[in-house]
Amino acid sequence: MRAITPLNITPEPLYLNRRAFMRTFGAGLAVAAGAPATLLGAPSEPTDLPTSFKDITHYNNFYEFSSNKQAVARMVSGFETTPWQLEVTGRVAKPALFDVEELITRFQPEERVYRLRCVEGWSMVIPWHGFPLARILEAVQPTPEARYLKFITVHRPRQMPGQKNGWYHWPYVEGLRLDEALNDLAILATGLYAKKLLAQNGAPVRLVVPWKYGFKSIKSIVRIELVKSRPTSLWMRAAPHEYGFYANVNPKVPHPRWSQASERRIGEFRRRRTLMYNGYEEQVAHLYAGMDLKANY
């Protein structure tokens, strides 16, 4: 399976989902009613067609707005994303404050079509626009003590009503090991479907690490700190037994709630088997050579 597929972008949103669901739902009823399986045709090889723009922008896990995935797109209207600055600081030779527009002109985002696997057992295929995180790191020059990256989302309870929910420790924090961050698959995304990122997808700049569960790909980032010791993410703090630092997609490490062995691709009817490292094993497995993946979940 190719990790990065060049793609002819469909400029208009694809609204095919309902029809596909109804068709397959009908097929499901036919099976349940005992219709011969041949009527339904043999299952074809799984393909990675991009998820519709509508689903990508209306089914969002973004707790800063709402824990209801359908509600997020409605809640973002008051969120201001311009101007926006991203600070890269900590153990670096050249700390920097980038304007997002400057990031875009300087690092020239390119299209990266990635699978996104949510820890909740669903997945999408998203045509991101982004540039390798490594490019920013080259610019700021991490010092030898820098071993981890700590990412921080903006904290604006007035514009992000979910941040008033005291259950979680805001702002959202995520982390990567420096060598993970330098992997070419790790990007900072500023757009999708050839458009600027919408607020519900983490505008104006977010991380995308496609071999990890979706929650690692932190949204609306204002600060990246290069640090010496391993940062504690929001989810590690909220439920340490369920969410580890690595959170690599791994069908063999079960979660108490959702299937990690299988997933539902949004827009599809049948479950798919989840792939090791979300299908990016070739590119990233070496980062974890010799590690006990059950202990380092």
Binder of other proteins out of 10, 108, 262, 296 (CB under 8 A): 262
Query: Near other proteins by CB under 8 A, which window of 1-9, 54-62, 136-144, 193-201?
Result: 54-62
Gap between the Cα atoms of 41 and 44, Å rounded? 8
| The pair of three-digit structure tokens given for residue 163, joined into one six-digit string | 């941040």
Nearest distance from C-beta of residue 86 to other proteins, angstroms: 28
Apex 196 CA angle, 284 and 142, nearest 5 = 45
**Cα dist. 294→80, 110, 208 in Å?**
40, 35, 23
* Distance in angstroms between the alpha carbons of the first and the last residue of the chain: 24
Gap between the Cα atoms of 97 and 95, Å rounded? 7
| Residue 271 within binding range of other proteins, rule CB under 8 A | yes
Site string for other proteins, 4-23 (x = CB under 8 A): -------------xx--x--
Binder of other proteins out of 14, 244, 264, 281 (CB under 8 A): 264
Q: State how far Cα 104 lies from the chain centre.
A: 20
| Residue 165 within binding range of other proteins, rule CB under 8 A | yes
| Residue 285 within binding range of other proteins, rule CB under 8 A | no
Nearest distance from C-beta of residue 67 to other proteins, angstroms: 7
Which one, 132 or 214, has the nearer CB to other proteins?
214
Binder of other proteins out of 9, 23, 70, 228 (CB under 8 A): 70
Gap between the Cα atoms of 254 and 64, Å rounded? 27
Nearest distance from C-beta of residue 17 to other proteins, angstroms: 7
| Contact (Cβ atoms closer than 8 angstroms) between residue 65 and residue 160 | yes
The secondary element (H helix, E strand) that includes residue 123 is strand 122-132
| Residue 257 within binding range of other proteins, rule CB under 8 A | yes
Nearest distance from C-beta of residue 159 to other proteins, angstroms: 21
**Cα dist. 103→107, 205, 255, 292 in Å?**
6, 9, 37, 37
- Tell me which residues touch other proteins (CB under 8 A): 17-18, 21, 25, 28, 31-32, 54-55, 58-59, 67, 69-70, 120, 122, 165, 167-168, 235, 238-239, 254, 256-257, 259, 261-262, 264, 266-267, 269-271
